Amino acid sequence: MADHIEGRTERYYSEFRIRAKSGQWVWYANYGKIIDDAVFGSRFIGVSFSLADKKRQEEELLALNTRLSEQNAQLERLNAELHTLATRDPLTGIYNRRHLLEVGEREYQRSRRFAHPLTLLLIDIDFFKRINDTWGHVTGDLVIRAVAECCVNEAREAIDTVGRIGGEEFVVLLPETPLAAGLAFAERLRQCVAEMRVTTHDGIDEAAVTLSIGIAELNANCRDFRDLVALTDHALYRAKREGRNRIQGHDVSTSAL
């Protein structure tokens, strides 16, 4: 009212509640303006009216918007869960084979386009069947999780991609990494696992674990990411044939696909 009297607003407007005889609060509005008249002088003319329908509609709209926001939030959570199920290995939480192949192909294309190095590691837990046969599959799962944790801890966050491609085999994809740096990474990983001891499921014993690692760098003979996987796979099997608990790098000079 003061703003209108002092000329700052064209008219006065207010919303307020009135308690009805029933005891309920009812919303009302009041608006008007000062009229200057030569006969009657200055006077205030206004009107009051119920806002019950308007407020009810606003409350219903607010309730609908709140419900919609909750449903959208739930949908986002479900989408996130579906994405996790589609891209993550359920035992370890690292990426699965499908996601690794998709990321690998993208990194292959990027490395080819910009002529940047790309190195791949294939990792196999040595004598894993013996672990399962000695202590059971539950302990075998504990070993797999422990190896996955070592891989994640050694990898560069948001740069490298770590995943499990099945059974006791893992992959680490190292963008912007030449073979020499990849070999150094592989050695750190091999030592990390060789030095750890995994307590068995019954808590009585400890399992020693070693890794065989094959490693290869993208070269001109690779027509796609799967070719790089094949080179790395050959290197891995050489590491296993040569006694395990070791790293075998692919020799580019003898590359053949």
Q: Is the predicted pLDDT of residue 173 greater than 90, yes or no?
A: yes
pLDDT at 55 over 90: no
* 70-90 residue pLDDT tens: 999 898 988 888 877 789 999
DSSP code at position 50: E
Residues 107-131 have a mean pLDDT of: 96
Does the structure show a pLDDT above 70 at 129? Answer: yes
Asked if residues 164 and 93 have their Cβ atoms less than 8 Å apart, the reply is no
**57-71 per-position pLDDT tens digit:** 988 999 999 999 999
In contact, 230 and 257? CB cutoff 8 Å: yes
pTM tops 0.85, yes or no: no
What does the alpha-carbon distance between residue 207 and residue 196 come to, in Å, rounded to a whole number?
A: 9
Residue 37 clears pLDDT 80, i.e. is over it? no
Q: Which residues pair with 42 in a beta bridge?
A: 36
Alpha carbon distance 250, 184 (integer Å) = 14
**41-50/118-125 β-pairing:** unpaired
Asked if the model's pLDDT at residue 15 lies above 50, the reply is: yes
Instruction: Quick: pLDDT tens for 229-238.
Output: 999 999 999 9
Mean of per-residue pLDDT scores for the chain = 91
Residue 95 CA to residue 99 CA, distance in Å, equals 6
